[in-house]
Amino acid sequence: MSGRVIVITSGKGGVGKTTASANIGVALANTGASVCLVDMDIGLRNLDILMGLENRVVYNLVDVVEERCKLRQALVKDKRMPNLNLLPAAQTRDKTAVDADQMKKLCEELKSMFDFVLIDSPAGIESGFQNAIAGAEEAIVITTPEMSAVRDADRIIGLLEARKDEITQYRLVLNRLRPKMVANADMMGVDDVLEILSIKLLGVVPEDEDIIISTNKGEPVSGTDNTRSGLAFRNIARRLRGEEVPFMDLEAKNDTWVTKIVNFFNPVRV
Amino acid sequence: MQLLDWLFKVPNGTAAVTAKDRMRTMLVHDRLELPAGKLEVLEEELTAVVARYFDLEPDTTRFDLQQMDRKAALIANFRLVRSKC
Ligand SMILES: Nc1ncnc2c1ncn2[C@@H]1O[C@H](COP(=O)(O)OP(=O)(O)OP(=O)(O)O)[C@@H](O)[C@H]1O
Ligand SMILES: [Mg+2]
């Protein structure tokens, strides 16, 4: 088997990399694919919490690299789906604990075991980021529609472009979109951000309180029905698998008739 | 008609339009790694060169740094009165 290694990255911190990793991982696993989530935010371990697996972590990625355990021993199987696995980050080490070559080797091994290897990258553009992208062949760039996040995403896109030979494609996930504010022209919308960054769109995730609730429960929202963000992440997973999923209208809640009409002609999509 | 314009066009001066304009300028400079002030120096020098060959209409020269995909284009516009040659 040779799976796909996809890194999820943003430049700016706190824009939703870990949330997206967990949710896309769950959604991909729900389509039947075998998935390994890799937490590369060494020293700031989070992905296990979002997955509700924090009590089951025994070994971590650094243990594997330093050969204190076998790769299989470090993998934490998801309690809901046996085809979903997590390789946790070390919490008590720092970004220098692994290097790019070790990461490449690890990714090679992982992609012989799984259909999808999703790497949650740390914020920034320094060594932690460089290591996270070292073994990747594809990237998901994630940003919010805020200026500082978009600027940092642009920086990341520039760095990815410089590695065209290794990273053959990258697409954008626009997170925390507020349809009502976009309809009122209070903030940039999907088309604005796409035009500025000149990048292909993979998906749009609305601002959604259900994300916070699901994080607290340790059950990613893409595994549950009836949430707009969950649907958005499931659509992203299907697009990753090569399906043509149309971008759905995403209407603002509490619309006035004016924003409804504007929305009709300038729909916000997920 | 004016009502339709108002409904379907995002008006200028909104926060969204301002943000987009600021982003465009910012990213063109970021991508070129262009230090602040350098462009102004280039514009002065370019104008001086063109002015050696042509009389220029005063105060009409325009420089515009535009984004084209992920590349940038410098568009210069000189209004020429006559050749000096
Ligand atoms: N679509 C959304 N709606 C509401 N809240 C969100 C959404 N996406 C992310 N969040 C919240 O934003 C916060 C940051 O998310 P997350 O930890 O995924 O970001 P990150 O990019 O991984 O951060 P870091 O750079 O620190 O690793 C979290 O509290 C998360 O619940
Ligand atoms: Mg994170």
Q: What is the pLDDT of residue A258?
A: 62
Ligand with minimal distance to A178 CA: 1
Q: What is the pLDDT of residue A263?
A: 59
Q: Percent of chain A at pLDDT above 90?
A: 87
Ligand 1 touching residue A34 (CB < 6 A): no
Secondary structure class of A54 (helix, strand, coil) = helix
- Give domain status of residue A53, yes or no: yes
- Give domain status of residue A167, yes or no: yes
Rounded distance, CA A139 to CA A136, Å? 7
Interface size A-B, in CB pairs within 8 Å, comes to: 55
Give the residue from chain B lying closest to A266, CA to CA.
B8
Residue A95 near residue A131 (C-beta atoms within 8 A): yes
Give yes or no for A188 touching B (CB within 8 A): yes
Q: What is the pLDDT of residue B68?
A: 81
Give yes or no for B4 touching A (CB within 8 A): no
Residue A92 has pLDDT above 80, yes or no: yes
Q: What is the pLDDT of residue A136?
A: 98
- Give domain status of residue A137, yes or no: yes
Predicted model pTM: 0.88
ipTM over 0.95: no
Which ligand 1 atom is at minimum distance from the Cα of A21?
18
Q: Which of A216-225, A231-240, B69-78 has the lowest mean pLDDT?
A: B69-78
Q: Which amino acid is at B80?
A: L
Residue range A185-206: mean pLDDT, rounded? 95
Confidence tier at B67 by pLDDT (50, 70, 90): confident
Contact B16 A185 (CB under 8 A): yes
Ligand 1 touching residue A12 (CB < 6 A): no
Give the residue from chain A lying closest to B25, CA to CA.
A196
Give yes or no for B14 touching A (CB within 8 A): yes
Rounded distance, CA A117 to CA A35, Å? 6
**Mean pLDDT in chain B?**
86
Note the pLDDT tens digit of each residue in A232-262: 999 999 999 999 999 876 644 445 566 566 6
CATH number at residue A221: 3.40.50.300
Q: In what order do the strands lie in the sheet with A169-177?
A: A76-77, A84-87, A35-39, A116-120, A4-9, A138-143, A169-177, A201-206
Q: Which of A199-213, A232-246, B3-17, B67-81 has the lowest mean pLDDT?
A: B3-17
Q: Percent of chain B at pLDDT above 90?
A: 54
- Give domain status of residue A212, yes or no: yes
**Mean pLDDT in chain A?**
93
Give yes or no for A260 touching B (CB within 8 A): no
Q: What is the pLDDT of residue B69?
A: 80
Q: In A47-99, which residue ranges form alpha helices assigned H by DSSP?
A: 47-50, 61-65, 71-74
- Report which of residues A29 and B67 the model is more confident about: A29
Q: What is the pLDDT of residue B85?
A: 84
Residue B6 has pLDDT above 60, yes or no: no
Give yes or no for A160 touching B (CB within 8 A): no
- Give domain status of residue A270, yes or no: no
Note the pLDDT tens digit of each residue in A49-83: 999 999 999 999 999 999 999 999 999 999 889 99
Residue range A201-224: mean pLDDT, rounded? 96
Ligand with minimal distance to A46 CA: 2
Q: Which residues of chain A neighbour B69 with C-beta distances below 8 Å?
A: 198
Give the residue from chain A lying closest to B32, CA to CA.
A158
Q: What is the pLDDT of residue A206?
A: 96
Q: What is the pLDDT of residue A254?
A: 46
Of B65, B11, B19, B25, nearest to A193 by C-alpha is B19
Distance from B73 to chain A by nearest Cα, in Å?
A: 15
Q: Which domain holds residue A36?
A: 4-265
Ligand 1 touching residue A141 (CB < 6 A): no
Residue range A91-120: mean pLDDT, rounded? 96
Number of domains observed in the structure of chain A: 1
- Give domain status of residue A199, yes or no: yes
Note the pLDDT tens digit of each residue in A13-44: 999 999 999 999 999 999 999 999 999 999 99
